[in-house]
Amino acid sequence: MTSTHTYSYTRTHTATHLTDVILGTISGILADLGINTASLTRDWVITENAIKAWIIEESLGSVVVECHQPSGIVAPMIEFPVSYHASGDGDAAFTASQARLARFLAKLDRVPAGTTFQLFCTFKKPRTPQPGWGTGQLAGTQGLRSIAFGTLGSAPHASAGMRYLYN
C-alpha cells in the first residue's frame, strides 16, 4: 500500500511542478511579446487545475498558445509537449536555466499591438472533462518554421518541452 501512496503523491507533485513551469513560461512569453495576459490571470486557477489533472491521468499531449494578430495571421504558436516516463526516477527540476530561457525569448519575433492569444490542449488519450474547457480548433502549422527549446522542466514520471513556431 505504501508504493501506491508514494506513486500517487509523486505523480501529484510532478503534475503541480510541470503545470507551474508551463504556465509560468506562457505568462512570461506573453508579457515579453506585449500581449495582454488579463484573461490568463483571470482564468489561472481553472487552467492550472485542468492541466494538472490531465498530467496526473497522463492524457495531456501538449499545451499550445496561439497568437492571433489583428491582421488575422496566427503566429507565433508556442507548443509545450508533455512526455510521460514509466519509472518514477528523477528529481523535479527546472531544466532550462533562466539565462538560457532569456536568450531564447530574445530571439522571438515581436507581434503587432492588439495581438491576442488562445490556449489549446492536445491529448494522447481520452481525458476527464474539466470546468472551463471545451473543444476548439487549432490553427494550421503548414508553412511555419520551428525552433525546439528542448526540455523546459522535468520531474519523476513526466517532462515538458517547448517548441516555437513562427513565420
Residue 156 confidence class, pLDDT cut points 50, 70, 90: confident
pLDDT band at 91 (very low <50, low <70, confident <90, very high): low
pLDDT at 7 over 50: no
What domain count does the chain have? 1
What does residue 127 show for φ and ψ, rounded to 5 degrees?
Answer: -125, 165
Residue 97 has pLDDT above 90, yes or no: no
* C-alpha distances in Å from residue 27, one per residue of 19, 31, 58, 86, 155: 12, 6, 23, 30, 21
| The predicted structure's pLDDT at residue 51 | 98
pLDDT higher than 90, residue 1: no
| Share above pLDDT 90 across residues of the chain, in percent, rounded to a whole number | 70
What is the CATH number for 43? 3.30.900.10
- Choose among 75, 77, 68: nearest CA to 36: 68
| DSSP state for residue 151 in the 8-state scheme | E
Per-residue pLDDT tens over the stretch 118-142: 999 999 999 999 999 999 999 999 9
Residue 100 predicted with pLDDT over 80 = no
Whether the model clears a pTM of 0.75, i.e. scores above it, the answer is yes
Nearest to 162 by CA among 77, 90, 54, 103: 77
pLDDT averaged over every residue in the chain: 88
Distances in Å between the Cα of 67 and the Cα atoms of 26, 113, 154 are 11, 12, 26
Q: What's the mean pLDDT in 15-36? A: 94
DSSP 40-104: HHHTHHHHHHHHHHHHHTT-EEEEEEEEE-TTS-EEEEEEEEEEE-SS--S--B--S-HHHHHHH
Stretch 87-112: mean pLDDT: 70
Q: Domain of 81?
A: 2-166
Q: Which three cell numbers stand for residue 89?
A: 526516477
Q: pLDDT of 38-65, one tens digit each? A: 999 999 999 999 999 999 999 999 999 9
Q: How far apart are CA 163 and CA 161, in angstroms?
A: 7
Q: Which phi and psi (to 5°) does residue 7 adopt?
A: -60, -50
